[in-house]
Structure formats: C-alpha cells, structure tokens
C-alpha cells in the first residue's frame, strides 16, 4: 500500500474525528463524501493548505539546520537576486540575460526561458506592458510634408516609419509590418518582431499604444525598461502606463500557493475595506501534479494577484517552480512610470502578503473617482435632501436671506472642488489666504472684494459678521509686521 502524504493523513484524521462525533450523536455512520460536506469544503481546503505550507517550512528548516542552502523563506525577505533552479542555468541570447529552466513530463524535456533579474536588484520583472502617449509625439518626429495633422489613416504609416528607429533603439527589436486590422480600439496596428506585441495608432483620443506581451518583454534588449522610462519622461507627450504585469519566479518553491492561500485567509490581501475576491483553480484537495492557481482581486478593478505552479503548468508534475504575478491596470489608479525601473518595489507593495518578497515596498493608492457632476445634478440632489426643510424655515423666518445664512456651509461639493480656488468662500480668522494681493471695501458698488492672483472676487455678506470682524480678518492681518 502506498504511503499516504501527511496532508492527506491529516484530512483523514479530521474526517475520522467528525465521523466519530456524528456517530455518537446519531448512531449513523456517514460516507466519506457526506462527512466532507459536514466539515465544509472550504474549511477542509484551508486546513489542507495550511498543513502543506507547514510541511514546506519544516523541510526548509531541516535543510538549513543540516547546513544546506535555501533560497527564500516565507518569514524572511529574499535577497534581491532571483534564485536559479537546480536544473537550470543562465544564458545569453542576443544580449539578453536569460534564466533557462528545464522541465520534464517524464518523456521529454522542455526548455523554458525567463528573464534573469539578478543584476537589477529587483524581486520582480515586467511580464506584460502597455503604455500610451499622445500622437503628437510621433508627429514631431515625422517630416512636416508627410505627417498630416489629425491622425488620419493615410498618415499612420509615415508616423510609424519615422518612429521605428527610436523604437528599435529602446527595445532592440523592430516594428516589422502593418497588421490587417487594428487592435484594442485603434484603427491601425503594427506587429512588433514576430509575435512580441503591437503598436496601435489611430483614434482612442489621438493616442499611440505600445503593447509588449510576455515574450516581447523577455526578448527585448537588456535595459529596455530604463531606456523606455527615460524616453517617456523626456520626449513623449502625456505618457502613461495602462497595464503592467509583474512576476516573481520562485524556482525552489519556498513560497508556495498554499502559503499565499493561507495569507489570503489571514486578511493579508485586504487593503482596507472589503476583502478582494479569491478563486482557486485546480485540485486543491488532493493535488495531482497538473498544477494549481490562486487568484485574488480582479482585472476589472485593475489589481489582480495570480499565483500558480508554473513548472507543473509546463508539464513537469514534480516541479517546485511557483510563479507569483501581479497585474496592475490604470482604471482606478495612476501607475507611476517609475514602475518600469523599480518593478519589485511596486510588486511587493501591492498587498501585505507580498511584502516578504522585498525590503522596499511602494504601494499605488487607489483613486476615489467621483462621478461626473453637473449643476443640474447638484441642484436635484439638494432639492431632494433639503427642499422640504427650506420650505419649513421660510415659513418660520419669512426671510430667504436668513434661511440661506442658517443652511450655508463652507466649501463646494467634492466634485466641484477644482473650481473652488477661483472663487471666494467664507473664511475664519485662522484661514486668511496668503494669495490675497489687495482689498477694496466697495468694488463697483457691489459686495466688498479682494484681489487674488486670479483677479477680483466678491466676499459674500454671509462671510462678514460685522465691520469690525471684516477689518480684523481682511485688513489688519494683511498689514506688514
């Protein structure tokens, strides 16, 4: 009889204990599947993952105690250099430093190349990238008699021809041909190398997109990330990253998908608010070597973690190789261009569960985007919320100015705050604006006014309690000391 693995034995013990309890209470023995249902599939998977993670930690500690070398630990942050598998080696391909991994399915051996990140000092590499910039960037490069203002279909070939030398200097690969159709809502697209990505142009608010897939990021010349960063910051018009996938390869399998699932259950993927959605794929009860995947977050929200058994996905059922990936989108956040040159810091900063991969973490804050507001919307909302209260106060005070004085608050609605700097709002004695240049007690026979860098602005009467208060706030405190 084959020896049972310890995780499976632990599950059997839990099952037996529950079976005994139920039998004592009901004198009825249940089947294995019924008992598993009683335990709860979710609890069983959590218990098994925790047990498997504990066994990996125990084995690593035993190797370390015996004087062996261990790559990374779940407790200690790894060295910046990416570890190399025992079955892999490092090689060069066209000036690109590659880490070669050998995986076998029992019949044949497959060579899998990944980017060697050891020289960069970063724990993660860029696996997919999309950047966009305004089409004026390319128009400046094209001859004036060839680039047509407006970005019509006829001029895109000329723009790409003018851009191709710069592109090749950055990436070390060429824009090879025009595709038969556009991509990602661009009218025209151009192939990068042979299946390495594409350049989109035409439409999309007069922007240009460079998209590199995993193969393109792998085969681009060493240092392309820094060269692209420099070009975007110094030359490109309105550049931004719309998607960046960051990946950390754990060839020894020291931080497994079980470790990350336990971290998810412990709330280490929660960045305030509700926990992100988690999803398991593959056989998590009795892993069969075909590979398991943990998803946390969502592509739609622009933040997705994906941890999976990479070596087993490639066909090697015994491979310990685990890949940890982070997909960042710009839907709810602005992705700094520095993520191109410090990918490991942004990878480690995304979730508390990823802090263990690097000593330095940078978190990209989520933008709370307000819905587009209009004056009609604000008026409608105010009418619904305080309309009846205004009627009541009018009946009581019989004076609209008195009602306004009772209800008014400082500032503007959040969606209109960007207008506030050009208008006057009520002020307290502790909030004298430093930008006041001059005042005029009676400006064009209207309300008292002040002059700021943006011009003259009236001071509403509700901002003034009396003449003495006005002099104290707006005149006396502005006198030279």
Residue 87 lies in a domain: no
Looking at the fold, whether 219 and 239 belong to one and the same domain comes out as: yes
pLDDT given at position 409: 75
Looking at the fold, whether 439 and 304 belong to one and the same domain comes out as: no
Looking at the fold, whether 387 and 255 belong to one and the same domain comes out as: no
Instruction: Provide mean pLDDT across the span 362-381.
Output: 62
Looking at the fold, whether 303 and 402 belong to one and the same domain comes out as: no
pLDDT of 308 > 60? The answer is yes
pLDDT given at position 49: 84
pLDDT tens-digit series, residues 107-145: 665 556 666 665 567 899 999 999 999 999 998 887 654
Which strands make up the sheet holding 438-440, listed edge to edge?
438-440, 449-452, 455-458
Looking at the fold, whether 321 and 234 belong to one and the same domain comes out as: yes
pLDDT tens-digit series, residues 139-162: 888 765 444 554 444 478 889 999
Looking at the fold, whether 379 and 430 belong to one and the same domain comes out as: no
pLDDT given at position 25: 56
More confident residue, 319 or 421: 319
Looking at the fold, whether 212 and 322 belong to one and the same domain comes out as: yes
473 CB-side CA count, 13 A: 21
**Residue 131 β-bridge partners:** 210, 241
pLDDT of 388 > 50? The answer is yes
Task: Quickly state the pLDDT bin for 399 (edges 50, 70, 90).
Answer: confident
Looking at the fold, whether 278 and 375 belong to one and the same domain comes out as: no
Q: From CA 77, how far away is CA 256, in angstroms rounded?
A: 15
Mean pLDDT of the chain: 74
Task: Quickly state the pLDDT bin for 191 (edges 50, 70, 90).
Answer: very high
- Cβ-proximal residues to 333 (8 Å cutoff; 6+ apart), any chain: 302, 303, 364, 365, 366, 367
Q: Which of 38, 65, 92 is the last residue of a domain?
A: 65
Residue 212 lies in a domain: yes
Helix/strand/coil for 2? coil
Q: From CA 140, how far away is CA 49, in angstroms rounded?
A: 56
Looking at the fold, whether 347 and 211 belong to one and the same domain comes out as: yes
SS (H, E, C) 131-144: EEEECHHHHCCCCC
Looking at the fold, whether 317 and 382 belong to one and the same domain comes out as: no
Looking at the fold, whether 226 and 296 belong to one and the same domain comes out as: yes
pLDDT of 225 > 90? The answer is yes
Q: What is the total count of domains within the chain?
A: 4
pLDDT given at position 362: 84
| Full domain range(s) for residue 463 | 419-481
Residue 286 lies in a domain: yes
On whether the CB atoms of residues 342 and 358 are closer than 8 A, the answer is no
Looking at the fold, whether 247 and 389 belong to one and the same domain comes out as: no
């Amino acid at each position: 009889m084959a020896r049972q693995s310890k995780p499976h034995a632990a599950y059997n013990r839990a099952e037996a204990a529950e079976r005994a309890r139920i039998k004592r209470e009901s004198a009825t023995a249940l089947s294995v599947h019924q008992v598993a249902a009683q335990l709860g599939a979710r609890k069983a998977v959590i218990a098994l993952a925790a047990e498997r993670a504990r066994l990996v930690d125990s084995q690593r500690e035993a190797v370390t105690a015996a004087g062996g070398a261990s790559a990374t630990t779940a407790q200690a942050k790894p060295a910046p250099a990416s570890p190399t598998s025992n079955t892999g080696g490092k090689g060069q391909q066209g000036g690109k430093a590659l880490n070669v991994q050998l995986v076998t399915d029992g019949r044949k051996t497959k060579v899998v190349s990944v980017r060697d990140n050891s020289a960069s000092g970063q724990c993660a590499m860029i696996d997919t990238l999309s950047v966009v910039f305004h089409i004026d960037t390319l128009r400046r490069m094209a001859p004036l008699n060839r680039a047509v203002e407006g970005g019509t279909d006829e001029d895109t070939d000329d723009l790409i021809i003018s851009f191709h030398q710069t592109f090749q200097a950055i990436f070390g690969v060429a824009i090879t041909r025009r595709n038969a159709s556009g991509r990602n809502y661009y009218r025209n697209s151009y192939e990068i190398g042979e299946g390495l990505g594409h350049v989109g142009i035409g439409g999309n608010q007069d922007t240009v997109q460079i998209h590199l897939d995993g193969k393109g990021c792998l085969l681009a010349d060493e240092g392309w990330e820094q060269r692209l960063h420099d070009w975007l910051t110094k030359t490109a018009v309105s550049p931004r990253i719309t998607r960046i996938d960051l990946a950390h390869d754990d060839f020894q399998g020291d931080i497994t998908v079980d470790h990350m699932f336990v971290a998810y259950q412990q709330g280490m993927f929660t960045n305030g608010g509700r926990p992100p959605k988690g999803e398991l794929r593959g056989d998590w009860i009795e892993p069969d070597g075909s590979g398991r995947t943990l998803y946390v977050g969502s592509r739609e929200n622009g933040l997705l973690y994906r941890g999976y058994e990479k070596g087993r996905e490639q066909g090697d059922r015994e491979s310990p190789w685990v890949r940890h990936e982070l997909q960042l989108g710009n839907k709810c956040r602005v992705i700094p261009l520095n993520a191109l040159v410090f990918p490991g810091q942004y990878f480690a900063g995304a979730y508390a569960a990823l802090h263990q991969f690097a000593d330095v973490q940078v978190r990209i804050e989520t933008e709370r985007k307000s819905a587009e507001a209009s004056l009609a919307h604000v008026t409608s909302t105010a009418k619904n919320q305080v309309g009846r209260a205004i009627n009541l106060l009018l009946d009581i005070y019989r004076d609209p100015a008195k009602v306004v004085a009772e209800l008014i608050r400082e500032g503007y609605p959040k969606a209109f705050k960007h207008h506030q700097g050009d208008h006057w709002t009520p002020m307290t004695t502790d909030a004298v604006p430093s930008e006041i240049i001059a005042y005029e007690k009676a400006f064009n026979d209207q309300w008292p006014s002040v002059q700021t860098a943006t011009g003259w602005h009236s001071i509403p009467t509700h901002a003034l309690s009396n003449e003495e208060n006005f002099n104290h706030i707006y005149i006396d405190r502005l006198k030279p000391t």
